[in-house]
Chain A
Amino acid sequence: MNDAAMVLEVRGARKSFGYVRALRGVDLALHEGEILALLGDNGAGKSTLIKAVSGVHPLDEGEIFVGGERASIKSSADARGMGIETVYQDLAMFDNLDVPANFFVGREPTRPSKLGSLGFLRERQMVQTWKERAASLGISIPNPRQTIGLMSGGQRQSVAVARAIAFADRVVILDEPTAALGLRESAQVLELVRKLPDHGVSVLLISHNMEHVQRVAHRAVVLRQGEVVGEAVPSPDTHEALVQMIMGAQGVNGEPQLRSTSKRGK
């Protein structure tokens, strides 16, 4: 795993909100084709870290490297321009539009191109592209012309993920992608997440569900009080240790004890 090139690297990330030090010098590396889980209790700094990478809150201090080059990410447009897309918990979907419309929203193909945004939608092409995408990702939505508001949470989340990776060529950040889903729907979405590296993107996954993390992630990094306190290859063997790192029970003074496990690769 560590032989693969680094697609995203964060060095010495610091961020404070007033007196609250949300990040106290975090280093993080995401390799090409890797699914990296970011673990930590509420307030550990996970959200602050991904918001820095996705351009929502710039860092106070620290550097971000994308594809090996130093990147200045000041807005979500910057992040998107570098091939980083984020799928947020609150599903940025349009309940009143159908699946292809949701997939393309904001970047619909039109003709004639001279008319710009007043041009006519290429509906047939949109539907066709969606169907090809869905087939290659294994997403099953029997009637994509139905409005997405009528679909199940799993189907909606699948479309959200498909949309993100269609426009991200490097990194997709998934913030609690299964938080609002039932068992079966979570399984659908996890299956989709597992396939993402085959489509050329790396994944930064935030989840509270250790079982889900074990099922898809190659590596897990634990944040606690704004610092990285350890990492491990998530598996039933490391479950207990990871939970203890999250809770802060293991390692007096926050000393990490499982760092070396990452060398195992996958």
Chain B
Amino acid sequence: MKTESPEGERGETTPSKPRGASEPDTRLVERRGGDWPLVAALRLIQFGPGVILAALLLVMSVLSPFFLTGENLQNLGTQSAIVAALALGQLLVIIARGIDASMAAVLAFAAVFPAALLDDPSRHGAIFIGLALATGLAAGVLNGGLIVLGRIPQPLIVTLATLGIVGGVSLVVSGGRQVIGLPPVLSSTLANDTVGPVPAQVVVLLIVAGCMYMFLAKSRWGRWIYAIGGNPEAASRLGIPVGRVTFSVYVLSGVCAAVAGLFFAAQTNAAVPTAGNAYLLDAITAVVIGGASLFGGRGTVMGALVGALILGTIRNGLSLLNVEPFWQTVAIGCVVLVALELDVLRGMLENRLRVSRATEH
């Protein structure tokens, strides 16, 4: 670690030590460690979603005596589970610098298609679930294929197109009608069973989230998703299979949408072709509120779950407080804008930190 030149050394140098010819050395000593306000602000933004959630939970429990009841918390959990499943898939895509706007339509189609295909859907639990997941996967293959193989550079437009296509096909195959009566494994086990006090859907969701965490944060493929989001050109120059990784995030996003679709079907005991209408922007919103960056390369499973819970808490709390439901979208829209602004602010703070460190070292 020893270097002959004083420039190679850091913090420990004393002001009296000789330095390179034209450099003023006194200012350097003053600056050392002077970046702590920037570091603190960045930390605050990093933990922002957790702070927002805690504040929301606190406010709601003060404002409404029902908020902290077991029944309401179970409600909050199952409502949030749908959004969380969507958010987990969206998270992968957004980290890889893409976006999947089609998830809401896939959510509906994943239940509608098996219901239309099977003569009596209520009798085939395993087949129904398998078909639903395969449907989500197929939708993901379509998105990924168009973006990677079709080389269409705007994922937003591609997935808006598939949003329309898949949503339309849902209406076509169902004739616009919902199919009531699903297999008991959904309508009874998944919808009503609990593990201790925890609803089954929340348990399933947590298992999916755990797998997603291991995949995204611990595996090499997951690391490559972050690398592509951080610098796609460099990723490909360094031998990362950018096309295959990008394809895979859209496929997994489709599967996650199908999981959300199964949750929705379980809760309503029906395959509803318009099920996605209420969730159009929820996935993206939850991921962004949860601290992921729409510029790519950032975001965590924990953040996405927290984002989904924030969304759920706002909805649940506002309805407990008898606020007109019309206000929900207003409130959520405002939270999204705050989250986006925080993302921009984070970028600016990081830039200033980098500049201050460049002059320091």
Contacts and interface: CB of A to CB of B under 8 A. Distances in A.
A42 interface: no
Interface string A185-196: 101100100000
6 contacts: A94-B230, A106-B235, A107-B239, A135-B1, A183-B22, A184-B361
B204 to A, nearest CB: 22
A171 B271 CA distance: 62
B51 to A, nearest CB: 21
Contacts of B322: none
A150 B8 contact: no
B8 A105 contact: no
Interface stretch (A43-51, A116-124, A232-240): A116-124
B16 interface: no
B357 interface: yes
A120 B297 contact: no
Interface in B220-275: 220-221, 223-224, 226-227, 229-231, 233-235, 237-240
B218 A105 contact: no
Contact of B23 (A105, A117, A184): A184
Contacts of A251: none
Contacts of A76: 237
Interface string A136-150: 001010100000011
A153 interface: yes
Interface stretch (A1-9, A22-30, A95-103): A95-103
Given A121-B220, A135-B1, A184 B357 contact: no
A195 to B, nearest CB: 10
B361 A154 contact: yes
Contacts of B2: 138
Contacts of A95: 230-231, 297
B358 A140 contact: no
Query: B-side binding surface: helix, strand, loop or mixed?
Result: helix
Interface string B210-226: 00001100111101101
A18 B239 CA distance: 30
A110 interface: yes
Contacts of A78: none
Given A110-B220, A118-B221, A191-B3, A105 B298 contact: no
A152 B218 contact: no
A153 B358 contact: yes
A108 interface: yes
Q: What band does the interface of chain A fall in when counting residues whose beta carbon is under 8 Å from B? A: 35 or more
A213 B321 CA distance: 72
Interface string B280-305: 00000000000000000110000000
Contacts of A151: 354, 357
B7 interface: yes
A93 interface: yes
Nearest to A142: B10
Interface residues of B, number: 42
A179 interface: no
B5 interface: yes
A97 B5 contact: no
A150 B238 contact: no
Contacts of A142: 10-11
Nearest to B20: A183
Contacts of B11: 142
A265 interface: no
Given A92-B233, A110-B219, 17 more contacts: A94-B226, A94-B231, A94-B234, A96-B230, A97-B230, A106-B227, A119-B220, A120-B214, A120-B218, A121-B218, A138-B8, A151-B354, A152-B361, A183-B20, A184-B23, A184-B361, A191-B8
A77 B358 CA distance: 33
Contacts of A185: 358, 361
Contact of A150 (B1, B214, B223, B350): B350
A237 to B, nearest CB: 21
Contacts of B8: 138, 140, 187-188, 191
Contacts of A262: none
Given A92-B231, A106-B235, A119-B219, A149 B20 contact: no
B69 interface: no
Contacts of B360: 152
A72 interface: no
Interface in B148-206: none
B234 A187 contact: no
B52 interface: no
A151 B239 CA distance: 24
